[in-house]
Amino acid sequence: MEKLIKSATVLDPHLIKNDFPVFKRRVNGKPLIYLDNAATSQKPESVINSIDNYYRNHNSNIHRGVHTLSYESTVMYEEAHKKVAEFIGAEDWRNIIFTRNATESINLLAYGWGLHNLKEGDEILITIMEHHSNIVPWQMLRDLKGIKINVLGVDEKGNLKLDDLPGLLSERTKLVSVIHASNVLGTVNPVKYITQEAKKVGALVLIDAAQSIPHLSIDVNDIGCDFLVASGHKMLGPTGIGFIYGRTELLQDMEPFMYGGDMIEKVTIEKTTWNELPWKFEAGTPNIVGGIGLGVAVDYLQNIGLTNIYNHEEELLVYALEKMAEYDWIKIYGHKSDSQSVGVISFNIEGIHPHDVAGMLDEQGIAVRSGHHCAQPLMRELSMDFAARVSFYLYNTKEEIDLCIETLKKIKKLFE
Amino acid sequence: MEKLIKSATVLDPHLIKNDFPVFKRRVNGKPLIYLDNAATSQKPESVINSIDNYYRNHNSNIHRGVHTLSYESTVMYEEAHKKVAEFIGAEDWRNIIFTRNATESINLLAYGWGLHNLKEGDEILITIMEHHSNIVPWQMLRDLKGIKINVLGVDEKGNLKLDDLPGLLSERTKLVSVIHASNVLGTVNPVKYITQEAKKVGALVLIDAAQSIPHLSIDVNDIGCDFLVASGHKMLGPTGIGFIYGRTELLQDMEPFMYGGDMIEKVTIEKTTWNELPWKFEAGTPNIVGGIGLGVAVDYLQNIGLTNIYNHEEELLVYALEKMAEYDWIKIYGHKSDSQSVGVISFNIEGIHPHDVAGMLDEQGIAVRSGHHCAQPLMRELSMDFAARVSFYLYNTKEEIDLCIETLKKIKKLFE
Amino acid sequence: MESDNLEFILDHFKNPRNYGTIEDADFSYEEGIPSCGDVIRLDLRIKNNKLDDIKFSGTGCAISQASVSILTESVEGMEVSKVLSFTDNDMLEALGGQVSPIRFKCALLGLTVLKKALIEKKSAP
Amino acid sequence: MESDNLEFILDHFKNPRNYGTIEDADFSYEEGIPSCGDVIRLDLRIKNNKLDDIKFSGTGCAISQASVSILTESVEGMEVSKVLSFTDNDMLEALGGQVSPIRFKCALLGLTVLKKALIEKKSAP
Ligand SMILES: Cc1ncc(COP(=O)(O)O)c(C=O)c1O
Ligand SMILES: Cc1ncc(COP(=O)(O)O)c(C=O)c1O
């Protein structure tokens, strides 16, 4: 009975695969085994169909007229904001700004908030674990405005050195911008705790949820953050769509980022006034179909349930880590403490360049990533520079992990 | 014989309609008549299918790994840059940067070029005919950098006052940014001449081709411009994709706009170096499917032939203008000289708000736009403030124009 | 829109009821939708917590202008508290229930302005 | 990749030919692909317009390192002008024609570096 209840809430990745047309694809004659989910996720039939349906039946520009297609498009696009808002527990859909991706989201904040609000001597705190997209925009501001970037380090286990946090915060700290889940190590950082500490010195808090939101249930009010950003393409949505959640007062006070149509209220050559939220930050014709598709992706995720997804991935992760630990020639980065983690494992095989590992896995239809994972400072810190990475999602299975590890063994043998 | 040759090169909009699935749609029980093409275009089956195909068979992140899907995505996405480059006569695909839309394109240049290169006292020349997206970004720079914005006016016919051009140019003029075809009046501006004049004082030239590129054959080398921008969604492509063409030296010298993954070469916390063109300007995961779809849209346009498209629209335009001229209660803006024009007609009906005109046309399945068309300074200059607008594309027919005018007559009658 | 409903609305547009200003108005309020160019100005007089007199002026599309005209007829003499609980749906019904959702914004402008006016008045000293 | 072709490549990776440096090299050249971490350094000696001696060192994936090894064997003793007309296709054929397009960048790195070196040398005073 207990088992029955348990299995009723656990998802069946074999059934879920049926929702994802890409798995009909064969790669090098083999069924596709897709373990590159931290780079981007595959898309369910419902998301693909929503795009198709939009272009076949509703395609039009939004906000720009009083004809039926335009009205339908506007409603569908606004509705997508609502779905994302509910998904992360935001009070109102106007707190959601659609962007191209997490990268644009952070840049929007760097320009719209940072460029106009920061001054020489102000400080920003990031961590060494950040993705490049949460490092380089702040360097731009550092060079333009003379601010200082402080960096919270990691220990040898791959956890943030939280003991150093208070010492890095002061009333000069205007923003703490932290990666929620590492795209290299999988580590989930205690963002709620970090937010509380940041609030003590009055800093704003930005959470980069690109790698967490596809896998964990998120509530912005529970975290207490001021901004949260993510990418649609990593959470079953289309390419070209991402978003920012921001608190109302902050978004209202912020300067716009891009300027043009739709974000204005009134334009004269002398002076322009801004439109209301969120349009103030969505200049020009947006990626309408991207937004609508993201809304459908959120529907899909909620239908399956984030807890189920997390539990399934946890099971895969534990399974894979145990299996990989059997071979001492596989070096795994991170995963050394009991901190919470998403299904990402970066590893190297002694004496074999990760490109060769990935390339030879690909010949068996297994897609993994190899490279610096857009996190060079972290990689350098952990002396890894380059690594192979497997990352799981709801459609992955233990059989796929088995096949991957079997192939790793063959590769190792070939190089001996 | 002559007739035969002519008709062989003229396109048949009835046949073309078959390529666009949206025309199976009925609106308020009537077949859709879509005359809102200046806002956005409909999409041919081939574009819709390319998106579907991408997600079903190739979906992956680009540049980021050595597995098959990633390789295919990268090649397809680069290929799309090539198609756009060839379409506008650019030397190399690396001169094409993909953005979200024309608005982002102009903002990229305002930030990447303007913010770092302009200084107090410098001047920029635009025209009163500009879309908001070619006005408001420069106002931002004016407020940040103390530059001056000069404005070339229009005469009562709706043509640029070219006689005033030399007087507005000086060695202080760093950029001349001009709309190629007006989204309100349809007027096609003599951008080649304007470019030549601008070059005399050493100014850079940016062409906003959002309304011209869907309808006219464009060659950036013939125009001689430094930058050219447009939106994919107005030229049969997906939403969420646009581009910049830029000359190599300029793009190389420019600072990036957004910062993050893919646009970097090497990142340390201290210092970051940039990737090569065009990636330096495409930070984060791009709208991959948008780029691929745009490439297919360009294929479609080239297959039909831009000359055929232009001739067809010219025929519709002349036909519509003649018909509308029969009714003195229809006030048409512009179209008073023999300057070249694309198929855009803004008009008002005496005593009836354009919203009511558009709303009542919609009840007959006819989609037209009403409003300020994101060009408030021009509208104010021409004392029109609000107007209805019909705009044609390759799938429109004379019968549709007849039906539209018949309905206008009924609307007029109702309000009497 | 059914044609008799359309005629009802166009009649109010062409022959607006309660159009004009109130010389001794208790207060006036003006608002619009910039993106449409619609503007509505209301003059109000209140007696014994009732809307004793209401007049409007403005410019805009037929739907927005007819809606205010119809609205003024519906609320004249009504208790202020009742006016405040007059819903969007009530307004749409007063218009004959035939307005397309596309035009709801126009149709509801008058009601929005009226409520804002009353709320502002209330909170004024 | 067919397995005998793979063995051929892995053999060159494990036992690189012409690995090392040339003490009295005419010139050396080093370049890499930062995004992969691959680096190749070439030492060259030219006599009578011929590539008299070539040695390489470097780090990187098996494909890139094996490719340089194979390349050095193919071009040693060749006239400089001939090396310059050695095409990408020639290189891929020398590798057995089995490398996946995905790895072309790795496979062609050595040839690219060699050509850059020779062109730079030529244009040097
Ligand atoms: C002339 C012109 N420029 C720029 C734009 C902005 O295009 P987008 O909204 O796709 O950024 C438009 C679109 O209406 C336009 O007509
Ligand atoms: C933690 C993290 N932040 C940000 C990003 C950037 O996402 P995008 O490329 O969609 O902008 C990524 C993607 O790799 C990521 O893993």
pLDDT, tens digit (0-9, with 9 covering 90-100), for B31-85: 999 999 999 999 999 999 999 999 999 999 998 678 999 999 999 999 999 999 9
d(CA D86, CA D91): 7
User: Residue B10 pLDDT more than 80?
Assistant: no
- Determine how many CB atoms are found less than 10 A away from the CB of residue C6: 16
d(CA A142, CA A300): 40
Token code pair at residue D31 = 């370049």
Query: Is B343:B391 a contact under the CB 8 Å cutoff?
Result: yes
List of residues 6+ apart from B310 with CB closer than 8 A: B215, B216, B217, B342
Chains D and C are touching, with contact defined as 3 or more CB–CB pairs separated by less than 8 Å: no
* Backbone CA torsion sign across B86, B89, B93, B98: negative
Query: Is B27:B367 a contact under the CB 8 Å cutoff?
Result: yes
User: Residue A157 pLDDT more than 70?
Assistant: yes
Q: Which atom of ligand 2 is nearest to the CA of A374?
A: 14
d(CA B99, CA B230): 9
Domain annotation for chain C: domains and CATH numbers: 3-119 (3.90.1010.10)
**Closest CA in chain D for residue B70:** D102
How confident is the model at residue A4, as a pLDDT? 42
Q: Tens of pLDDT along A31-70?
A: 999 999 999 999 999 999 999 999 999 999 998 678 999 9
d(CA B278, CA B389): 37
Q: Tens of pLDDT along C45-73?
A: 999 999 999 999 999 999 999 999 999 99
Could you tell me if the CB of B131 is within 6 A of ligand 1? Answer: yes
Q: Tens of pLDDT along B211-262?
A: 999 999 999 999 999 999 999 999 999 999 999 999 999 999 999 999 998 8
Q: Which atom of ligand 2 is nearest to the CA of B262?
A: 9
Contact call for D102 and B66, based on CB within 8 A: yes
Is A3 at the interface with chain C, CB within 8 A?
no
* Residue ranges for chain D with pLDDT beneath 70: 1, 124-125
d(CA A362, CA B65): 10
Give residues (CB < 6 A) around ligand 2: A 101-103, 131, 133, 179, 183, 208, 210-211, 231, 242, 374; B 261, 284-285
For residue C101, is the peptide bond before it cis, meaning its omega torsion is within 30 degrees of 0?
A: no
Mean pLDDT of B176-197: 97
Query: Is A212:A218 a contact under the CB 8 Å cutoff?
Result: yes
How confident is the model at residue D120, as a pLDDT? 84
The rounded Cα A184 to chain-centroid distance in angstroms is 12
Mean pLDDT of A324-338: 93
- Helix (H, G, I), strand (E, B), or coil: what is residue B323? helix
How confident is the model at residue A352, as a pLDDT? 96
How confident is the model at residue B1, as a pLDDT? 37
HSE (side-chain half, CA atoms, 13 Å) at D7: 3
User: Residue A7 pLDDT more than 50?
Assistant: no
* Residue A404 bears catalytic tag: no
Domain annotation for chain A: domains and CATH numbers: 13-44+305-411 (3.90.1150.10), 48-302 (3.40.640.10)
User: Residue A108 pLDDT more than 90?
Assistant: yes
Q: Which of B244, B374, B379, B390 is catalytic?
A: B374
Nearest bound ligand to the CA of residue B229: 1
d(CA B45, CA D5): 43
Q: Which residue do the tokens 């779905």 mark?
A: A83
Could you tell me if the CB of A21 is within 6 A of ligand 1? Answer: no
A286 alpha carbon – ligand 2 mean position (Å): 20
Three-state SS letters, D45-111? EEECCEEEEEEEEEECCHHHHHHHHHHHHHHCCCEHHHHHCCCHHHHHHHCCCCCCHHHHHHHHHHH
User: Residue B161 pLDDT more than 70?
Assistant: yes
How confident is the model at residue A10, as a pLDDT? 75
* Backbone CA torsion sign across C68, C73, C77, C78: negative
Nearest bound ligand to the CA of residue A282: 1
Contact call for A359 and D102, based on CB within 8 A: yes
The rounded Cα A376 to chain-centroid distance in angstroms is 17
How confident is the model at residue A217, as a pLDDT? 97
> Looking at this protein, which amino acid is placed at residue A71?
Y
User: Residue C124 pLDDT more than 70?
Assistant: no
Could you tell me if the CB of A65 is within 6 A of ligand 1? Answer: no
Strand B242-246 to A344-349 pairing: unpaired
CA distance B262 to chain D (A): 10
DSSP label at A100?
S
A26 alpha carbon – ligand 2 mean position (Å): 27
Q: Where are the beta strands (DSSP E) in B64-191?
A: 96-99, 123-127, 148-152, 173-179
D89 alpha carbon – ligand 2 mean position (Å): 36
Q: Tens of pLDDT along A340-395?
A: 999 999 999 999 999 999 999 999 999 999 988 899 999 999 988 899 999 999 99
Q: Which of A310, A374, A381, A386 is catalytic?
A: A374
What phi-psi label fits residue A360: left (phi over 0), alpha (psi between -120 and 50 degrees) or beta? alpha
Is A265 at the interface with chain C, CB within 8 A?
yes
C75 to each of A215, C80, C116, D123, how far by Cα in Å? 53, 9, 15, 90
What phi-psi label fits residue B119: left (phi over 0), alpha (psi between -120 and 50 degrees) or beta? beta
> Looking at this protein, which amino acid is placed at residue A121?
G
- Determine how many CB atoms are found less than 10 A away from the CB of residue A93: 17
Mean pLDDT of A215-242: 98
d(CA A118, CA A172): 10
Mean pLDDT of B367-382: 91
